[in-house]
Structure 1
Amino acid sequence: MSIAFCLCLTEAILIFAAEGSLFFCSYKVKVLLHWTAQMLALVAATLGLAFIISSKNRSELPHFISWHSILGLLTFLATCGQVLCGLCLLFPQALRISLMAQLRRCHTVCGLIVYLLTTFTVALGICSDWFQAQIKGVAWYFCLGLIFCPALMIVNQIPRTCLSKKRQYV
């Protein structure tokens, strides 16, 4: 589930990249694709969290004692907050929201924070004893690189495309 979450989250952000998106369509369609990818990411995160809690209950192990699990829970809660903020952006008339530009900028910056939380949560998972017992040597470093390469792209893309210039949203 974490792979599905990371892939959906990454593509949801990259949909708005001028040069990195797989989709060449109008802004409204990109918003719909972004929303769909975010919902898929949230479903994957929810299923993953439910599976982990169920597994811990079955094996009678304590919950949320590692840095990975605590940061994972924080990431899940931040993702839920981002979805609520996205809902406000999707339906501003129904919610009587007037400060759309500020809310959009806040959503963008918080989205970057959620993505970085996700990156570090997965990195902490790779540093776990279980993962290091499964993957050793150069392959472990390759897996670590697979986590940070998309994060570097997104950290570079968001300020360039979303925050640095004034955009006309239609």
Structure 2
Amino acid sequence: MEKVDVEPNIPSLELKPEKPRRKPPPPGLKDDLTVIAHICVVFYFILICYLCFVRPFEFFTWHPLLLSLGWMLLMTEGILIISKENPVVRKLRLNHTWKLRYHWIILSIALLLVFIGFLIAVVNKNRLNKKHFKSWHALFGLISLVACIPAVINGTAALFDVELKKYIKPSIIKLIHQASGTIAFLFGGLAVVLSVYTKWFAKSSNNNKYLFLLGLATTLYSVIWTLQRPLLKCFRKLFKL
């Protein structure tokens, strides 16, 4: 009898077709509102720079200068860079990987500047023998820095979610990162808004009501618009768990 070769039943190793990427939404009203947020952030930073150098530069002046650069400008732009409604990112045609890369690089630089600015305020209080964290501005700033700790830890973990998925779901890591980051930016944003009510701002601006209104309007708008998308994403993910 002739031997008949029987092929073993080997499962197919065909690769699954990749899911088609969603096309970004066409430019609309939200893109225009994001552009306004960019303008507000830049205007506030220019305003603080003007107030820092319009008078003799002092040791404490580093605090508003570094915080306006680190928190208001870099932190806000670092969050907006991953937004789908950012026309700047749309023009640069950045993919998701590059957006995340710029996101953590910009926020890392921002946090370093914010931490230095925070230390300057603490050292200045010690030099003047004043009590710490008596104002809402200072308290909100402290809360935002504390909230940055879990955001940084989970943000780092999110970069290695493939290796960590055996121990914890990547969706949970990302949710904790987004929630803690949103809380951090919320309280940091409140501290920035309240900065226009501080004695330093009043003294540097000579109680100019127009500069006060400019600072208040630019901070309020940019903080509210930057927060709206992360807040919605956090609520949606919470309901999915």
TM-score band by shorter chain is 0.7 to 0.9
- In the alignment, does 2:187 pair up with 1:117? yes
Match in the other structure for 1:63: 132
| 93-102 or 32-41, which deviates more | 93-102
Other-structure match for 1:22? 88
Distance (Å, rounded) in 1 between the aligned partners of 2:150 and 2:195: 23
**Per-residue deviation, residues 21-62 of structure 1 (Å, max 9, x unmatched):** 533212111111111011011101111112112212222222
Partner Cα separation in structure 2 for residue 157 and residue 94 of structure 1: 28
Residue in 1 that maps onto 2:104 = 35
Q: Distance in 1 between matches of 2:201 and 2:231?
A: 33
Q: Distance in 2 between matches of 1:61 and 1:159?
A: 36
Cα gap change, 1:57/1:163 in structure 2, threshold over 3 Å: closer, same or farther? Answer: closer
Q: CA deviation at 1:80?
A: 2.3
Asked whether the 8 Å contact 2:78–2:104 carries over to 1, the reply is yes
RMSD: 2.3
Amino acid at match of 2:216: L
Which runs of no fewer than 5 residues in structure 1 stay unpaired? none
Q: 1:21 to 1:52 in 2, by over 3 A?
A: farther
* CA positional deviation for 1:164: 8.2
The 3-state SS of whatever aligns with 1:19 is: coil
Match of 1:156 in 2: 228
Q: 2:209 aligns with which of 114, 137, 151?
A: 137
**CA 1:150 to 1:97, structure 2 compared with 1: closer, same or farther past 3 Å?**
farther
Pairing 1:2–2:87 present: no
Query: Are positions 1:126 and 2:208 aligned together?
Result: no
Larger CA deviation: 7-16 vs 57-66: 57-66
Structure 1 stretches of 4+ with a deviation exceeding 4 A read: 93-97, 162-166
Q: Residue in 1 aligned with 2:171?
A: 101
More helix by share: 1
SS of aligned partner of 1:12:
helix
Q: For residue 130 of structure 1, report the CA deviation from its aligned partner.
A: 2.8
Corresponding residue of 1:78: 147
- Could you say which residue in structure 2 is the equivalent of 1:92? 161
Q: What stretches of structure 2 of length at least 5 have no aligned partner?
A: 1-65
Instruction: Give the secondary-structure state (helix, strand or coil) at the position aligned to 1:60.
Output: coil
Q: Would the aligned equivalents of 1:88 and 1:97 in 2 still touch at CA under 8 Å?
A: no
**Which residue among 34, 44, 49 is the counterpart of 2:118?**
49
Counting aligned pairs with the same residue, the percent is: 24
The TM-score, its normalising length taken from structure 1, stands at 0.84
Does the 8 A contact of 2:150 with 2:177 survive in 1? no
Q: How many residues align?
A: 165
Letter in 2 for 1:128: T
TM-score, normalised with respect to structure 2: 0.61
Deviation at 1:97, TM superposition (A): 4.3
